[in-house]
C-alpha cells in the first residue's frame, strides 16, 4: 500500500466580529410537546401550555424505564444469534419512540435584502421537518447528521419569526438508546450575501519541517469583486503570518501561507493556531470568521503502521456512544470534558464515535486535550439490521450525509481517519464491496487527506468478496483468531482493531469460581469484575494486548467501550430489568471499573498503576478460595494476607493473562487486610497498596471533580458519593438509599450509580448506592454564588460539599 500522508488543521465555530456576521444560538424558551399536534406549524398556534425546555434537550431521559418500550423479538446477527428472542432493554427502555414538536421565536434586527440567513441544526433525533412562519423549509432523515437551510426568503424583517420542528422517532429504528429531541445545538447565522460559505473553509498543512510549515487554506465564498485577507495567530494570540489575495478559482480562494518554527499538534502537545479570514469587497469588510487549526502530519504505511509527526505510535483508543449516561444524549461540554479527563488519566490517546457522527463539542475538546479521532458515519448501509434503520434512505441520503460530516469537521486536527460504516450486512457479496468503494470515494473527494475504514465483523466474507481489500484501512471488529489470515489476505499491509474486547463487568461485583467464560449470566444480572468474562463473539483485553504488542502491522485498537451506555445490555438483553451496557471500562456514572486499571497499567506509561481486586468484605466466605488480582505497570509483586506472604508473582509469557496481570489464584478469604508490595526491575520494593475489611457503614464522603464552576446554567460538577465505616474504610457492598439537596446558586441535575439493572430515575433526588458509590451532578444557575450539596441516608452521617460559581471573564 502506498503511504497516505497528510498534514492538517481544525475548523471550529466562527468567532463573530462586528456586524458582518452574527450567530444566534437558540437555547432558551423552547416550547415542547410529546405527541402529534394539528396546526403546530401555524404562527397563530397557542403553545403556552407546552413544556418550556432548554435546547440541547433529550425528551426521553426522564423516563420512566418501561419493559414494554421497543420490546423486540429478534435474532441479533452481529452477535451470532440464529434464533429470535425477546429483547426488552435493547434501546434503554426509555420513552424515545413517538413524535415530538418544538417551537421557538427569534428576531433579526436590522435585517435587509443584503443579508443572508442560515438555519443550522447540529443534530435532531429524528427525521426532522422544519417549518418557519408556517411554511415548510425542509427536512432531513438522519438523526445524527448536521444540516442547514438557507432561510433568507422566509425571514420576516424586524419582527418575530416562528420556528417549528417536528421529530419522528420510530420503533425498531436503533440498536442502542438513540435519545430523542433537539439533542444538539440549533443556530441562526446572519451574514452578508458576499460571505464565506457554510463550512467553506478547509485548512491543511501539506509541508512541515522543524523550521517551516506551509498552511494551505481553501475558502469557498459567495459574491463578486472579492478579496481575502487571512491572519494566522499562535495560541497566545500573536500574529505569525498574514496573506492577502484576490485570485479566486471558481468560487474559492486558495492561499499557501508560511508559518515559521511551527509547533506541532499531538496528543502530548495539542497546540492550536487560529486563522482569521476576512472577506472584502473593494475595501469594505463583508465577512469575518476565526478558525482554530493544528499543524500535524499523519502517515499510514504498510508493515510500519501509523505515524504522527514522523513518530510511529499505536491507537490506544476507546469507542464511545453519544449518550452521557444520566443526562442522556443532550450534548454537554462539561460531561464530555470529564469523560476525556478520565480517559486521559487511563492513557487513552484516541476516540471512535460509535456508530454515528460526533458532536462538534466533542471534537473541539479532543483538539484541545489531545485525542486522535476516528469519525464514524453509519451503522447501516443498504441492507437492514433493524426494520426502520438507515437502510430506508441510504441510497438517497448517504452522499449528502457524508458531505456534511466531512465539510463540518474536516479541519479538526484530532480527526485522523474516517469510518464509513460499522458491521454492515453489506459485507457479503460484490454489491457490498462496490458500496464500500462508492462511500470511500465520496470521503476522498471531500477530504483527500485522510484514509477510510469500516468496522468489519464478517472477516471471512470480506476476504472472499474483496470488500476488505477495497478499504484504505481494514478494520477488524473482534475476530482475534483471524488477524493473521486477514493480514495475509488484504493488500494494505496493516490491520486496525476498529472494535476490540467487549469484555463485560459490573463495578465492584465479583463472582466465584474465577474462570474465563463466554456469555456467563448470574441471577443478579451482573457480570464479574475479575475481567475474565466476554461475549460469544468477543474476548478479554489481554488477547488484544498480545496483538498490539507483538504485531507491528496491527496499528492499534478501539476498545468497546470507554464508558457504559444506555441500551444493549448484553449478555442480559433478554433479562429484565437490565437496561444499559456492561461493556464499559467505566460505568454509566463515569466511575472506573477494575478494568480501567488494567488498561491504565499498559497505556499510561508515565504514571504508576498499582490496583488490587477484589474488595475484602466477604462475610460467609471465610476459608474459601478468593483469588486476588493486581493490575500494575510493575512486573512483579508480593501479596500479604494479614501479614502472611502469599508469595511473589511475576508477569510471564505463559498466557495472555499471565503476561499482563499478577494473579494469586489460591488465596483463602479471612477478614482483615490484604497488602501488595510491587518491585522494580532490580527487585527493590517501590510501591504498596492495602485493602481492609470494612465495618458497618457510618458516614458519607463527598468528592467533586471540581469546585469552581461557570455561572452559565450549563456547567456541571460531578460529585462522587462514597460510604465509609467509623475508621474511614470504604464499604464496598453498601446499597443505602440516599437523598440529595442542593441549596444556593445551583440545582440538582441528576444522579447515577452504575447499576445496569437500576430502574431509579436519574433526575429524581434519591438513589441507592451501588457497590458503595454513586455520582451526583450539580448544575449552577446563571447568577454567580455559593452552592451546597447535602447528601443524607438513613443511619448515616450526613455530608455536605460547597461549590462556587463565577461569571466568565
DSSP states of 190-242 as a string? EEESSEEEEEEEEEEEEEE-SSEEEEEEEEEEESSSEEEEEEEE-TTS-EEEE
772 and 673 Cβ atoms separated by less than 8 Å:
no
Q: Which of 157, 160, 159 is nearest to 112 (CA)?
A: 157
Q: Measured between alpha carbons, how far is residue 100 from residues 28, 64, 104 in Å? A: 17, 17, 14
Q: Which of 390, 388, 322, 355 is nearest to 140 (CA)?
A: 390
End-to-end CA separation in angstroms for the chain: 51
Rounded CA gap, 568 and 117, in Å? 41
Rounded CA gap, 266 and 367, in Å? 9
In Å, how far from its chain's centre is CA 331?
A: 10
Rounded CA gap, 767 and 749, in Å? 13
**Exposed/middle/buried for residue 57 (C-beta within 10 Å: 0-12, 13-18, 19+):** buried
273 and 232 Cβ atoms separated by less than 8 Å:
yes
| Beta-ladder partners of 650 | 636
78 and 385 Cβ atoms separated by less than 8 Å:
yes
The C-alpha cell that represents 187 in the structure block: 443556530
Rounded CA gap, 56 and 324, in Å? 13
In Å, how far from its chain's centre is CA 757?
A: 23
DSSP designation for 15: P
Close Cβ partners of 310 (under 8 Å, ≥ 6 residues apart): 297, 299
Check if 423 is active-site: yes
Q: Is the peptide bond before 614 cis (omega within 30 degrees of 0)?
A: yes
Catalytic residue among 288, 361, 376, 499: 499
Beta-strand runs (E) in 576-728: 610-613, 628-632, 636-641, 644-650, 662-664, 673-679, 685-692, 699-704, 708-710, 717-724
* Length of the chain, in residues: 809
DSSP states of 28-65 as a string? S-EEEEES--TTTT-TT---TTSEEE-SS--TTTT---
Q: Which of 292, 291, 261, 262 is nearest to 277 (CA)?
A: 291
Catalytic residue among 361, 364, 423, 568: 423
Element (H, E) at 399: helix 394-409
Check if 619 is active-site: no
| Beta-ladder partners of 318 | 351, 559
736 and 796 Cβ atoms separated by less than 8 Å:
yes
| Beta-ladder partners of 149 | 119
- HSE-up (13 A, CA, CB side) for residue 536: 11
Q: Which of 709, 706, 700, 721 is nearest to 795 (CA)?
A: 700
In Å, how far from its chain's centre is CA 163?
A: 30
How many Cβ atoms from other residues are within 10 Å of residue 795's Cβ?
8
**Exposed/middle/buried for residue 67 (C-beta within 10 Å: 0-12, 13-18, 19+):** middle
- HSE-up (13 A, CA, CB side) for residue 543: 19
Contacts 24+ apart (CB under 8 A), 702-705: 702/789, 702/791, 702/799, 702/800, 702/801, 703/801, 704/801, 704/803, 705/338, 705/341
387 and 410 Cβ atoms separated by less than 8 Å:
no
Q: Is 338 helix (H, G, I), strand (E, B) or coil?
A: helix
**What residues are labeled active site?**
423, 499
Amino acid at each position: 500500500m502506498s503511504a497516505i500522508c497528510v498534514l492538517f488543521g481544525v475548523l471550529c465555530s466562527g468567532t463573530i466580529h462586528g456586524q458582518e456576521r452574527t450567530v444566534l444560538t437558540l437555547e432558551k424558551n423552547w416550547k415542547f410537546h410529546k405527541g402529534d399536534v394539528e396546526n403546530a406549524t401555524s404562527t397563530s398556534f397557542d403553545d403556552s401550555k407546552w413544556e418550556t425546555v432548554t435546547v440541547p434537550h433529550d425528551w426521553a431521559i426522564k423516563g420512566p424505564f418501561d419493559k414494554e418500550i421497543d420490546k423486540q423479538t429478534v435474532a441479533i446477527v452481529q452477535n451470532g444469534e440464529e434464533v429470535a428472542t425477546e429483547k426488552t432493554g435493547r434501546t434503554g427502555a426509555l420513552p424515545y419512540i413517538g413524535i415530538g414538536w418544538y417551537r421557538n421565536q427569534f428576531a433579526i434586527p436590522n435585517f435587509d435584502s443584503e443579508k443572508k440567513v442560515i438555519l443550522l441544526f447540529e443534530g435532531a433525533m429524528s427525521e426532522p421537518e422544519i417549518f418557519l412562519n408556517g411554511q415548510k423549509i425542509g427536512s432531513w432523515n438522519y438523526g445524527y447528521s448536521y444540516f442547514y437551510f438557507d432561510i433568507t426568503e422566509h425571514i420576516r424583517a424586524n419582527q418575530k419569526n416562528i420556528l417549528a420542528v417536528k421529530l419522528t422517532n420510530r420503533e425498531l429504528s436503533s440498536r442502542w438508546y438513540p435519545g430523542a429531541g433537539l439533542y444538539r445545538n440549533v443556530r441562526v447565522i446572519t451574514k452578508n450575501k458576499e460571505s464565506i460559505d457554510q463550512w467553506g473553509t478547509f485548512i491543511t498543512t501539506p509541508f512541515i519541517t522543524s523550521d517551516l510549515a506551509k498552511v494551505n487554506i481553501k475558502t469557498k465564498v459567495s459574491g463578486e469583486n472579492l478579496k481575502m485577507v487571512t491572519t494566522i495567530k499562535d495560541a497566545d494570540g500573536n500574529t505569525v503570518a498574514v496573506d492577502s489575495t484576490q485570485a479566486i478559482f471558481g468560487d474559492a480562494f486558495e492561499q499557501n501561507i508560511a508559518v515559521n518554527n511551527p509547533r506541532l499538534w499531538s496528543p502530548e502537545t495539542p497546540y492550536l493556531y487560529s486563522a482569521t479570514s476576512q472577506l472584502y469587497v473593494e475595501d469594505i469588510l463583508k465577512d469575518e470568521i476565526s478558525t482554530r487549526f493544528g499543524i500535524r502530519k499523519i502517515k499510514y504505511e504498510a508493515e510500519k503502521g501509523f505515524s504522527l509527526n514522523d513518530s510511529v505510535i499505536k491507537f490506544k483508543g476507546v469507542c464511545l456512544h453519544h449518550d452521557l449516561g444520566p443526562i442522556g444524549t443532550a450534548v454537554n461540554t462539561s460531561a464530555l470534558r470529564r469523560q476525556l479527563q478520565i480517559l486521559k488519566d487511563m492513557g487513552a490517546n484516541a476516540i471512535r464515535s460509535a456508530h454515528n457522527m460526533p458532536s462538534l463539542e466533542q471534537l473541539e475538546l479532543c483538539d484541545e486535550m489531545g485525542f486522535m479521532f476516528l469519525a464514524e458515519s453509519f451503522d447501516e448501509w443498504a441492507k437492514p439490521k433493524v426494520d426502520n434503520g438507515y437502510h430506508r434512505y441510504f441510497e438517497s441520503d448517504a452522499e449528502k450525509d457524508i458531505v456534511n460530516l466531512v465539510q463540518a469537521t474536516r479541519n479538526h486536527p484530532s480527526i485522523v481517519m474516517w469510518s464509513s460504516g460499522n458491521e454492515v450486512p453489506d459485507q457479503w457479496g460484490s454489491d457490498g464491496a462496490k458500496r464500500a468503494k462508492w462511500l470511500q470515494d465520496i470521503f476522498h473527494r471531500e477530504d483527500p487527506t485522510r484514509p477510510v475504514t469500516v468496522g468489519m465483523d464478517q472477516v471471512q466474507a470480506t476476504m472472499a468478496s474483496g470488500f476488505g481489500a477495497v478499504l484504505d484501512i481494514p478494520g477488524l471488529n473482534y475476530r482475534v483468531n483471524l488477524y493473521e489470515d486477514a493480514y495475509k489476505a488484504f493488500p494494505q499491509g496493516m490491520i486496525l482493531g476498529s472494535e476490540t474486547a467487549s469484555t463485560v463487568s459490573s463495578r465492584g461485583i465479583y463472582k466465584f469460581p474465577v474462570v474465563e467464560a463466554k456469555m456467563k449470566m448470574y441471577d443478579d444480572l451482573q457480570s464479574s469484575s475479575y475481567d475474565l468474562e466476554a461475549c460469544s463473539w468477543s474476548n478479554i483485553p489481554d488477547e488484544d494486548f498480545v496483538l498490539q504488542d507483538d504485531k507491528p502491522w496491527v496499528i492499534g485498537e478501539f476498545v468497546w467501550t470507554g464508558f457504559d451506555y444506555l441500551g444493549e445490555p448484553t449478555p442480559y438483553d433478554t433479562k429484565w430489568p437490565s437496561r444499559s451496557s456492561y461493556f464499559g471500562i467505566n460505568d454509566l456514572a463515569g466511575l472506573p471499573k477494575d478494568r480501567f486499571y488494567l488498561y491504565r497499567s499498559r497505556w499510561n506509561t508515565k504514571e504508576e498503576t498499582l490496583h488490587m481486586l477484589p474488595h475484602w468484605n466477604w462475610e460467609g466466605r471465610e476459608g474459601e478460595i478468593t483469588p486476588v488480582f493486581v493490575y500494575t505497570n510493575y512486573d512483579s509483586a508480593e501479596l500479604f494476607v494479614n501479614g502472611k506472604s502469599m508469595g511473589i508473582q511475576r508477569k510471564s509469557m505463559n498466557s495472555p493473562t499471565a503476561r499482563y496481570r499478577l494473579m494469586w489464584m489460591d488465596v483463602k478469604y479471612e477478614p482483615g487486610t490484604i497488602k501488595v508490595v510491587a518491585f522494580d526491575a532490580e527487585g527493590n520494593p517501590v510501591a504498596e497498596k492495602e485493602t481492609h475489611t470494612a465495618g458497618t457503614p457510618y458516614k458519607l464522603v463527598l468528592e467533586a471533580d471540581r469546585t469552581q464552576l461557570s455561572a452559565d446554567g450549563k456547567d456541571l460538577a460531578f460529585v462522587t458519593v462514597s460510604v465509609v465505616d467509623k475508621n474511614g474504610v470504604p464499604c464496598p457492598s453498601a446499597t443505602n438509599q440516599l437523598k440529595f439537596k442542593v441549596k444556593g446558586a445551583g440545582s440538582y441535575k441528576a444522579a447515577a450509580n452504575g447499576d445496569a439493572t437500576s430502574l431509579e430515575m436519574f433526575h429524581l433526588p434519591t438513589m441507592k448506592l451501588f457497590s458503595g458509590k454513586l455520582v451526583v451532578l450539580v448544575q449552577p444557575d446563571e447568577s454567580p454564588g455559593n452552592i451546597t450539596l447535602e447528601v443524607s441516608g438513613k443511619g448515616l452521617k450526613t455530608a455536605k460539599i460547597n461549590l462556587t460559581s463565577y461569571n466568565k471573564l
